[in-house]
A and B are shown apart, each in its own frame.
Chain A
Amino acid sequence: MADPILELDKVTVRRGMGVVLQDFSLHIKSGECVILHGKNGAGKSTILETAARLLPMESGAVSHHGSLVCDGQGRRLNPNSPFGLTLQSNCLVASQTVDQHLANVMALCAKSIDLKPILSAFKIANRRNDKIAHLSGGQQRKVAVIAGLIPAMVESQPRLVLLDEPDSGLDDSAIEVLIQSIHELRNIGHCFMIATHDSRLFECGTSLNDLSSEKTQEITNSDRWTVESKPNPVSLLKTKIGWKYNSTTLVSIQRNWLAALLVMGGLLSIVDPLTLSDETMILMGFTLAPAFTVGLVGDAVFKILSEQRSIDWWRAQHNLVPNSYLESFISGIILTGISSQIFIQSVDYRIIAIGGLIALATTACVRFLQLSTIRLARSNAVFIRLLTPILILPWSLMVDYCAKL
């Protein structure tokens, strides 16, 4: 008997103040498609997000392809294989193009396919080079659904696909394409778990589960998907994707650099560095302030990923999400080089390197604080920045050290 691709074993999950799942178990094997249906608030999305490693559990365990991925003890391990995921939010980055977003998904799978047929089937081939922000809501939903199917489309080995209300916002022709795609992919061994209210999707299901009972059904569609993928391994994927996000949106420039340059300009407006030539400590503080500012503003990529729950999509796939550490380090180096020229009229490569490290370390600390509050319903409203003054002391120690160089 084939091993389950997805296993939820006696999972208990709380949301808000209530227990949504209590000792819930579900196993999905290769070639199966479980349709979760039921009233609002029954727990369909909770099951899906728990299977996708997004929700902590009170107890129980989730496994993909027989390997534990998360459990009630707080363990959270990377899945051995990428899996398809479409949440209720689209998890798209608005400033990326359709092609760029789908390319990221393929890079995560280390394989690539020709996207033209699937984009044409969903009638958005003409939009592949458009920014996602310029698409209508329905078109964005199509992109999100395609992104969820790609991990199965590129792979002949069984893969897991989790779709949360994929029909939401899709027109009738798109739903027909989705249904046909699910049939074809399921028939080559991939497995699906789909939460939906749309009865048209019920025909895809080998079993229908309303969370209190499960009913199996026969499926006659035997069409098979043809896998025509090419290997496309990408090293340092998270850093490269972070770099791409930054370079396409220039978010580091508009946030981190702008703040640092404002700090530099503000300091220059109140003091003439030439009059402080004996105040080494003060001038060194001015020199390293822009690098510190770059880090305090926070990880620019984290800001981008906060849109439409993109960060949740990345967190589901991997414990490390794209970051802008490289940009922070480079920004710190460049800005410290500039401020060195302005405030201490010299170029000391040790100080410039330390500036880069200050920017990198501060970015990492602020990012850590931001990630700590990601479970909150309104993570942007929590006053996490109140804890950043802890970074002033190590920064001042570095200033002191550099002043003595």
Chain B
Amino acid sequence: MRGKSGDMYLLAGFSGLMITLYLAFNWAPSVDINAFQSPEAQRIFYWHVPAAWAAFIAFTVLFIGSALWFFKRSPLGWKLHIAGSEAGLACGLMAVWSGCVWGAAEWGTPWDWEDFRLNTFGLLTLLALFLVLGRKSQPDGVESRDTFSTFGLYGFVLVPITYIATRIWVIRHPGPVIAGDENSSISGDMALVLMIGALSFTVLIIGHIMTSIEITKFEQRIDRLQKELDGE
């Protein structure tokens, strides 16, 4: 039943994303052509920002799961760690990739090594990649779980740093459009599309995490059955 719920959330989230894309390209108002080098590329915003938001949710789940495993040896904690790392990788890559496309169009360069927030977010995504690939390369056991959950715990320190960097070190990458300073605001229609995107990504992430937990349960069950067959 829980597996079906995860599927429903995934379906709902995916549908919401398709609606967001449609609205972004066909309905959302255009921006002032004097304010942007590449006004049409600005529409990537409706994908890029929600993806980054969803990535932060995933990294938070990763942190909670890592802490639960590290301090309590909680099996649920380990499942959350796996789910959070995979979801964080997916959303992180979506945010980074869309950002690079937008940056190439708007700034003339896909990346800015001097931008603190870009680099910390990129590092978070690399951390998620490391956790996903690294875990698949190792046999399951307390040694690998302890090691990877430690990285998940320490890596989370980059999340508040990235968040603060959006407000303090605004260099090339623009600051937040919601809950930022007095210059941060967007029009009602743009905000609506952005909210739909954010909601869709949130629902998608929740579905991803629920499905991932179910998959991990099945994998662990297969592992147990194999050990029984081995006579252990």
Q: What residues of A have a CB within 8 angstroms of the CB of B127 in the complex? A: 386-387
Contact assessment for A389 and B147 in the assembled complex, using a CB-CB cutoff below 8 Å: no
Q: What residues of B have a CB within 8 angstroms of the CB of A270 in the complex? A: none
Q: Once bound together, how far apart are the Cα atoms of A56 and B144, in whole Å? A: 13
Contact assessment for A375 and B137 in the assembled complex, using a CB-CB cutoff below 8 Å: no
Q: What residues of A have a CB within 8 angstroms of the CB of B174 in the complex? A: none
Q: What residues of B have a CB within 8 angstroms of the CB of A383 in the complex? A: 129-130, 133-134, 137
Residue of A nearest to B144 (CB): A376
Q: What residues of A have a CB within 8 angstroms of the CB of B114 in the complex? A: 396
Q: Does residue B122 face the partner (Cβ distance < 8 Å to A)? A: yes
Q: Does residue B126 face the partner (Cβ distance < 8 Å to A)? A: yes
Q: Does residue B141 face the partner (Cβ distance < 8 Å to A)? A: yes
Residues of chain A in range 127-180 having any CB-CB distance to chain B below 8 Å: none
Partner of A15, one of B113, B137, B141, B151: B141
Contact assessment for B130 and A384 in the assembled complex, using a CB-CB cutoff below 8 Å: yes
Contact assessment for A389 and B123 in the assembled complex, using a CB-CB cutoff below 8 Å: yes
Contact assessment for A393 and B119 in the assembled complex, using a CB-CB cutoff below 8 Å: yes
Residue of A nearest to B118 (CB): A393
Q: Does residue A390 face the partner (Cβ distance < 8 Å to B)? A: yes
Partner of B142, one of A14, A372, A384, A396: A14
Tell me whether A387 and B142 are in contact in the complex, defined as CB-CB below 8 angstroms, given that A372-B147, A372-B150, A393-B119 are known contacts.
no
Q: What residues of B have a CB within 8 angstroms of the CB of A266 in the complex? A: none
Q: What residues of B have a CB within 8 angstroms of the CB of A389 in the complex? A: 122-123, 126
Contact assessment for A372 and B151 in the assembled complex, using a CB-CB cutoff below 8 Å: yes
Tell me whether A390 and B143 are in contact in the complex, defined as CB-CB below 8 angstroms, given that A383-B129, A383-B137, A396-B113 are known contacts.
no
Contact assessment for A393 and B147 in the assembled complex, using a CB-CB cutoff below 8 Å: no
Contact assessment for A377 and B139 in the assembled complex, using a CB-CB cutoff below 8 Å: yes
Partner of B133, one of A56, A373, A386: A386
Residues of chain A in range 364-402 having any CB-CB distance to chain B below 8 Å: 372-373, 375-378, 381-384, 386-387, 389-390, 392-393, 396
Q: Once bound together, how far apart are the Cα atoms of A266 and B138, in whole Å? A: 35
Minimal beta-carbon separation of B17 from chain A (angstroms): 27
Q: Binding site of B, secondary structure by majority: helix, strand, loop or mixed?
A: helix
Q: Does residue A16 face the partner (Cβ distance < 8 Å to B)? A: yes
Q: What residues of B have a CB within 8 angstroms of the CB of A17 in the complex? A: 140-142
Contact assessment for B126 and A387 in the assembled complex, using a CB-CB cutoff below 8 Å: yes
Contact assessment for A392 and B140 in the assembled complex, using a CB-CB cutoff below 8 Å: no
Minimal beta-carbon separation of B160 from chain A (angstroms): 16
Q: Once bound together, how far apart are the Cα atoms of A375 and B144, in whole Å? A: 7
Contact assessment for A387 and B130 in the assembled complex, using a CB-CB cutoff below 8 Å: yes
Q: Once bound together, how far apart are the Cα atoms of A384 and B129, in whole Å? A: 10
Minimal beta-carbon separation of A312 from chain B (angstroms): 13
Residue of A nearest to B220 (CB): A17
Residues of chain B in range 119-166 having any CB-CB distance to chain A below 8 Å: 119, 122-123, 126-127, 129-130, 133-134, 137-144, 146-147, 150-151
Q: Once bound together, how far apart are the Cα atoms of A389 and B129, in whole Å? A: 13
Q: Once bound together, how far apart are the Cα atoms of A378 and B151, in whole Å? A: 17
Contact assessment for B144 and A377 in the assembled complex, using a CB-CB cutoff below 8 Å: yes
Minimal beta-carbon separation of A216 from chain B (angstroms): 33
Q: Once bound together, how far apart are the Cα atoms of A375 and B122, in whole Å? A: 27
Q: Once bound together, how far apart are the Cα atoms of A375 and B149, in whole Å? A: 13
What 1/0 flags go to A6-36 for Cβ under 8 Å of B?
0000000011110000000000000000000
Tell me whether A15 and B126 are in contact in the complex, defined as CB-CB below 8 angstroms, given that A377-B138, A383-B134, A392-B113 are known contacts.
no
Q: What residues of B have a CB within 8 angstroms of the CB of A56 in the complex? A: 146
Minimal beta-carbon separation of B139 from chain A (angstroms): 5
Contact assessment for B123 and A15 in the assembled complex, using a CB-CB cutoff below 8 Å: no
Q: What residues of A have a CB within 8 angstroms of the CB of B137 in the complex? A: 378, 381-383
Contact assessment for A377 and B141 in the assembled complex, using a CB-CB cutoff below 8 Å: yes
Q: Once bound together, how far apart are the Cα atoms of A21 and B111, in whole Å? A: 51
Binding site for A on B (CB under 8 A): 113-114, 116, 119, 122-123, 126-127, 129-130, 133-134, 137-144, 146-147, 150-151
Binding site for B on A (CB under 8 A): 14-17, 56, 372-373, 375-378, 381-384, 386-387, 389-390, 392-393, 396
Q: Can you list 19 A-B contacts (CB < 8 A)?
A: A14-B142, A16-B140, A16-B141, A16-B143, A373-B134, A376-B138, A377-B138, A377-B141, A382-B133, A382-B134, A382-B138, A384-B134, A386-B126, A386-B127, A386-B129, A386-B130, A387-B123, A389-B122, A396-B113
Shortest 4 CB-CB contacts between residues of A and residues of B: A16-B141, A381-B137, A386-B130, A382-B134
Contacts A15-B141, A384-B130, A387-B126 supplied; 17 other A-B pairs, CB < 8 Å: A16-B140, A17-B141, A17-B142, A56-B146, A375-B144, A376-B144, A378-B137, A381-B138, A382-B138, A383-B133, A383-B134, A386-B127, A390-B123, A392-B113, A393-B113, A393-B116, A396-B113
